[in-house]
Amino acid sequence: MLSKAQNKYIRSLSQQKYRAEHGVFVVEGDKIAREWLLTGSKIQHIVATASWLQHNVKLTDKHPDAVISEVSVDELQTVSQLQTANEVLLVVHKNNDNTILPTDEWCIAVDTLQDPGNMGTIIRIADWFGINHIVATADSVDYYNPKVIQAAMGGHLRVQLHTTDLSKFIDNTAMPVYAAALDGEDVYSLKNITPGVLIIGNESKGISEHIMQKARRKITIPRRGGAESLNAAVSAGILCALLIKP
């Protein structure tokens, strides 16, 4: 079981300020937890039901430094950030090695992205297309928000996540910069596409004006119907499929 202090600590990690203070975040659910345990990720705490621990001894043995707490389903629910707890919860150390920004390969840059579901889905999209880097403005949603973790489905393990001044990053890159915009070039008509930075904007306001002005090319997915706009993550997925050639 968990002590009161452990319970309080894990529950505090639902807030960004405590995740930042302790340099950890929470991963929940059987599939995603097993994926993290299979890697060399540094695990601080494993909280799980007795049946889950019995079935995953080989995985937990890979992490001798992790604290292991056997709990009931009800106790797991008290620290879970999900509506319904799912067998296991991990407290994982953040990877602080993502300091070198990309210079010659595809990356996705997000400008003031606010929705955690969108951020997590974009991380998952990057993972699918083999994009190794995502660059976000400091006012975007936290990469380690619980809903981002769930939506990314393990993408955090393979995609390097950077937070930086997007304006300076664009100024300093020699790569082409493609900005997703309603008034851009038809993405289907683009020729001689080379790896670069794909910018996705805020859900309601799009890409900020000063960032848009720095883009080498504005591109769009042509509209055939009556929808006013596309979801940010949906747009990112479609553009990646069209821009990144096998």
Statement to judge: residues 121 and 87 lie in one domain: no
Residue 101 lies in a domain: no
Predicted structure pTM score: 0.94
Each as own residue / partner, the long-range contacts of residues 58-66 (CB below 8 Å, 24 or more positions apart, any chain) are 59/34, 62/37, 62/38, 63/37
Which of 27, 58, 93 is a domain's end point?
Answer: 93
Q: Which residues of 84-115 are buried (b: 16+ CB within 10 A; e: fewer)?
A: ebbbbbbbbebeeebeebbeeebbbbbbbbeb
Q: Per the structure block, which two tokens stand in for 41? A: 């990720």
70: domain CATH number is 3.30.1330.30
pLDDT score recorded for residue 97: 61
Tally the domains of the chain: 2
Residues 84 and 160 in one domain: no
**Span 206-229, mean pLDDT?**
93
The long-range contacts involving 59-67, CB below 8 angstroms and separated by at least 24 positions, are 59/34, 62/37, 62/38, 63/37, 67/6
Q: Domain check: are 118 and 88 in the same one?
A: no
98 is a domain residue: no
CATH of the domain at 197: 3.40.1280.10
Range of the domain at 41: 4-93
Q: What is the pLDDT confidence band of residue 228, given thresholds at 50, 70 and 90? A: confident
* Model confidence pLDDT, tens digit, residues 101-116: 999 999 999 999 999 9
Are both 75 and 142 inside the same structural domain? no
Which residues lie closer than 8 Å to 242 by C-beta, 6 or more apart? 187, 188, 221
- The verdict on 192 and 226 lying in the same domain is yes
What is the chain's mean pLDDT, rounded? 95
* Residue ending a domain, choose from 49, 67, 93: 93
Whether residue 99 lies inside any domain: the answer is no
Q: 123 and 220 share a domain?
A: yes
